[in-house]
Amino acid sequence: MEQSYLTSVIKQFEYYKSLGDKTLEQLSITALKTELEPDSNSIAIIVKHLAGNMHSRWTNFLTEDGEKSWRNRDDEFIDNYGSKQELIEAWNTGWQCLLSTIKNLNNKDLESVIFIRNEGHTVTEAINRQMMHYAYHVGQIVFIGKLIKGKNWTSLSIPKGNSQVYNDVKFSQAKSLKHFTDDS
């Protein structure tokens, strides 16, 4: 069970990263910096927040509190990216920090206790907490990207009107046990 959990977690995190990657690819730096409403978060700000959170939570994950003294969370909500490349580098290094940490965990680690702001979590609970946090923000990134691109948006899932075709293909195949991202 535990190995299945860790394998699934890695695939889920990689899936959410891929949704963000595919959104970032579709947008210019101007679009990435667009705030749809005054005082709302642009995609650039959400990326900066995610990268900061990932570095803080996953650096020395098993041995230090997840809220590092060097983290300046408030600064994460000020967009100062000079280029799309700089934004993508921050995005990728945050995910690299997370994924390299998760990939080095083993089954024995899952019930260990780690702390986030002095609140104890089992490793399993901490992973679940962060996965939901990142899924929430990646969903925002995708939604904002879709709003900005409008009719020029390239769908990241089953496009409207194609559900039956998609299901027909899926149900024409033999049943199998695999992660849903294995066909992506």
Give the angle 71-13-40 at the CA atoms, nearest 5°: 55
3-state secondary structure of 152: helix
Structural domain includes residue 160: no
Residue pLDDT, tens place only, 79-127:
999 999 999 999 999 999 999 999 999 999 999 999 999 999 999 999 9
Residues 117 and 125 sit within 8 Å (Cβ to Cβ): no
Strand partners, 122: 113
Structural domain includes residue 33: yes
Structural domain includes residue 62: yes
| Residue 147 lies in domain | 2-155
Residue pLDDT, tens place only, 3-41:
699 999 999 999 999 999 999 999 999 999 999 999 899
The count of domains in the chain is 1
Q: What is the CATH number of the domain that holds 76?
A: 1.20.120.450
Please write down the HEC assignment for all residues of 5-51.
HHHHHHHHHHHHHHHHHHHHHHCCHHHHCCCCCCCCCCHHHHHHHHH
